[in-house]
């Protein structure tokens, strides 16, 4: 299988640990050397190449998740997020791959439910920032509620972007200011010297400005409210997914718990 981009290294490692033949595509020669060294130290047989070999295709979409076209007949789409593998067809190969990776397998009818839920959560996070929450407060509250990584520090790792049609004024301002994530040294947080995340007063000021532009009177937002509003946004999106016939409520809730790490309260 082929995984695209250095950000796909964790998925490539999981495939290799599960006994898969993996090619990680990384055109940047400096990143390629770093990745080869890392895989070698870990004893993992992952080939790192500048271009993708023909005939196999698993694409990493750069958002911290995997969007794959698999080579078996019928080619259902495949999406790995957290501890769940979503596919658009219930085929034995997908079940076998999920078993090899040690993750749950959920079949959806129209693409990954995890994308829908992640977008719903991020929209609510943008509103929380306008209303009065700060970046670290959002991440800390949701990590305490069960998420392995807060949504904003996770977005920094994957790269900050504004999805088409998203009305997220704080995120839009961050993109305009060129704060596009950890790879560029700053996103929702700063990363001085390439180290860990540090709160950024410039981002705090941008949030305050956007709240003023939007006419929002900011107030203190407690951790309980952050978690409750995040869960409410996910609950509403799950209801839409079910109403559209994309997945059953049980499967959508499994994706919420296993992919986002924030089960219903």
pLDDT at 81: 79
What is the share, in percent, of the chain residues with pLDDT greater than 70?
Answer: 85
Judged against a pLDDT cut of 70, whether residue 201 lies above it is answered with yes
Instruction: Please tell me which of 44-48, 64-68, 94-98, 193-197 the model is most confident about, judged by mean pLDDT.
Output: 193-197
The total of other beta-carbon atoms located within 10 Å of residue 145's CB is 18
Question: Strand pairing partners for 107?
Answer: 87
Mean pLDDT of all residues in 171-187: 94
Q: Which domains does the chain show, CATH number per domain?
A: 2-107 (no CATH), 115-226 (1.10.1040.50)
pLDDT at 73: 37
Contacts of 135 (CB under 8 A, 6+ apart): 129, 152, 188, 189, 199, 200, 203, 204, 207
Least confident of 53-57, 117-121, 237-241, 256-260: 53-57
In terms of DSSP bridges, do strands 46-49 and 22-25 run parallel, antiparallel, or are they unpaired? parallel
Distance, CA of 83 to CA of 91 (rounded, Å): 19
| pLDDT grade for 77, boundaries at 50, 70 and 90 | low
| pLDDT grade for 71, boundaries at 50, 70 and 90 | very low
Contacts of 56 (CB under 8 A, 6+ apart): 1, 2, 23, 71
Distance, CA of 170 to CA of 189 (rounded, Å): 14
pLDDT at 6: 54
| pLDDT grade for 89, boundaries at 50, 70 and 90 | confident
pLDDT at 4: 61
pLDDT at 220: 97
Which 8-state DSSP code applies to residue 48?
E
Summary mean pLDDT of the chain: 85
Mean pLDDT of all residues in 34-45: 84
Contact, 191 vs 182, CB < 8 A? yes
Judged against a pLDDT cut of 50, whether residue 66 lies above it is answered with no
Judged against a pLDDT cut of 90, whether residue 64 lies above it is answered with no
Q: Please report, for residues 9, 53, 59, 177, 253, the alpha-carbon distance to residue 229 in angstroms, rounded to integers and kept in the order given.
A: 33, 45, 33, 27, 16
């Amino acid at each position: 299988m082929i995984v695209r981009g250095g950000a796909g290294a964790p998925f490539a490692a999981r495939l290799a640990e599960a006994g898969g033949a993996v090619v990680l595509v990384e055109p940047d020669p400096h990143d390629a050397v770093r990745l080869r060294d890392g895989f070698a130290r870990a004893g993992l047989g992952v080939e790192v190449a500048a271009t993708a070999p023909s005939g196999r295709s698993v694409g990493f979409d750069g958002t911290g998740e995997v969007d794959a076209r698999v080579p078996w007949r019928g080619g259902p789409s495949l999406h790995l997020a957290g501890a769940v593998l979503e596919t658009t067809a219930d085929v034995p190969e997908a079940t076998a791959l999920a078993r090899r990776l040690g993750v749950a397998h959920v079949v959806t009818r129209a693409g990954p439910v995890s994308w829908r839920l992640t977008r719903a959560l991020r929209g609510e996070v943008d509103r929380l920032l306008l209303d009065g929450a700060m970046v670290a407060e959002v991440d800390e509250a949701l990590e305490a509620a069960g998420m392995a990584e807060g949504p904003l520090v996770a977005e920094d790792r994957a790269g900050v972007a504004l999805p088409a049609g998203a009305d997220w004024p704080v995120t839009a301002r961050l993109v305009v200011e060129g704060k596009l994530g950890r790879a560029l040294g700053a996103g929702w947080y700063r990363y001085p010297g390439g180290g860990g995340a540090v709160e950024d007063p410039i981002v705090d000021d941008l949030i305050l400005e956007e709240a003023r532009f939007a006419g929002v009177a900011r107030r203190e937002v407690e951790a309980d409210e952050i978690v409750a509003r995040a869960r409410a946004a996910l609950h509403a999106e799950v209801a839409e997914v079910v109403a559209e016939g994309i997945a059953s409520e049980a499967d959508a809730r499994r994706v919420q718990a296993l992919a986002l790490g924030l089960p219903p309260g």
